[in-house]
Chains A and B, each alone.
Chain A
Amino acid sequence: MDYIFHFGPILDRWDQFLRGAMLTVEISIASMVFGLIIAVIGGVARTFGPAPLRWLIGAYVELIRNTPLLVQLYVVFFVLPGLGLKLTSDQAAIVALSANLGAYAIEIIRAGIEATPRGQIEAGLSLGLTRMQIIRLIVLVPALRAIYPALGSQFVLQLLGSSLVSAIAAEELTAVANNIMMQTFRNFEVFVIIGLIYFALVQVFQTVFDAGYRRLFRWTV
């Protein structure tokens, strides 16, 4: 063990880490928002939609859930431009991550929807609410509350998964680490620091997300 730690040259570049972390957070949050939109629409359509639509969404979910995120990232990055859709690496990252999260979250939301007590829907029907009102007010809101923790875990996985985006040259945290490694040759130290930053990001996110539960669902008994 004659290895000498040199954190100095790395810590001098703290501004690069900060920028990388910012981009990681931005990409993660953007894909969480888009992913959640996909999931709510997809989850409702998968449960209540017509058969062909249910089947189509099912195929999308299975396809995404049974292939690696990295491959999905490459597909978006290499295949979409051939179809005439030019994306920057940041945009490609957000598209791939949103599609990925969407599929997982559709299944989570569907489970929440299926857990709605039948009697509540029947009560809604007998009160003369329309189908959309029942789905929105009676099914979806309690479903979101029920799945909130599961969604949180999925979001954390999303935050960690965004490190793969470095493979397509978006300048997020892991890519920054690669750059700094080339400049300083302090490989081990760089990745230890990056690991700590990710860990801190996850803890902060978890805390904020848990606080969100208490705020959003204060009305519950």
Chain B
Amino acid sequence: MGLREFGWNELYFLLFSARWTLLLSLMAFFGGGVLGLLVAALRVAPNRFARQAAIVWIRAFQGTPTLVQLLIMYYGASFLGFRPDAWLAASLTFTLGSSAFFGEIWRGCIQSIGVGQWDGAKALGFRFPATLWLIILPQAVRPMIGPTIGYMVQIIKGTSVASLIGIAELTRTAVMVNTVTFEPVRVFGTVALAYFVMCWPLSLLAERVTRGIDAKRGTGIADIFRKKATPRPSLPATAV
């Protein structure tokens, strides 16, 4: 038996902690979005060193676990002579991490725009930043929307890692409530549901937006097996 029942107070306490999950997510989304645009721009820049720098940035964040990045950020504060601060470490880690992912996602969208657009802009005397900003990006926005919304889901789920350095967002609150109530089914069921409610609409939206762009899909592949054999047209009577 736990020390307390899992009652309304506990439920309220648990669900209300979702505000920190949302706050962390929003910071990561907007911070990472602004920085990610820069990463994407560098990634397609004419300068070779700029491209290399962006590749290194992306690989560093995509090639190490978020948890380890978070801990480096957290304990790195003492390296710079500050007191470790969980919130600063978490918001910084998630911002930088999502900038790498956004950079890579958006690079793909930018490169899906035809080379002719770049050539045309060059012929008109546009330099790289103006070409990207005025000509390429406005066209790339449409294919960017779906994957961007999709990545928001990853950001929201990813903030759960902040629980491991002591931020009392949804997941950590769940662990705490579970420790005193010892009702894991209800506690973690509630938390899973809370995440699901935040993420699922975004997933559906992302899928809908993405599918709207892709060429219309035909019937499902399994329909070939399900299809009833079409009856052969009977010969016209006159043919006899």
Using a CB–CB cutoff of 8 Å, the interface residues on chain A facing chain B are 1-3, 47-48, 62-63, 65-72, 74-75, 78-79, 82, 113-114, 116, 118, 121-122, 125, 131, 139, 156, 160-164, 166-167, 174, 177, 181, 187-188, 190-192, 194-195, 198-199, 202-203
Contact = CB atoms under 8 A, between A and B. Distances in A.
A78 B78 contact: no
B199 A199 contact: no
B178 A62 contact: no
B178 to A, nearest CB: 6
Contacts of A167: 164
A70 B203 contact: no
A47 B65 contact: no
B81 A192 contact: no
Contacts of B163: 70
A47 B219 CA distance: 12
B195 A71 contact: yes
Nearest to B164: A167
Nearest to B193: A67
B40 interface: no
A116 B200 contact: no
9 contacts: A66-B203, A68-B158, A70-B161, A70-B163, A75-B188, A82-B184, A181-B75, A187-B71, A191-B71
B105 to A, nearest CB: 12
Given A113-B221, A188-B78, A203-B63, 16 more contacts: A1-B80, A1-B81, A3-B78, A3-B80, A62-B200, A68-B161, A68-B195, A75-B184, A79-B184, A121-B221, A163-B67, A174-B67, A191-B75, A195-B68, A195-B69, A198-B65
A67 B195 contact: yes
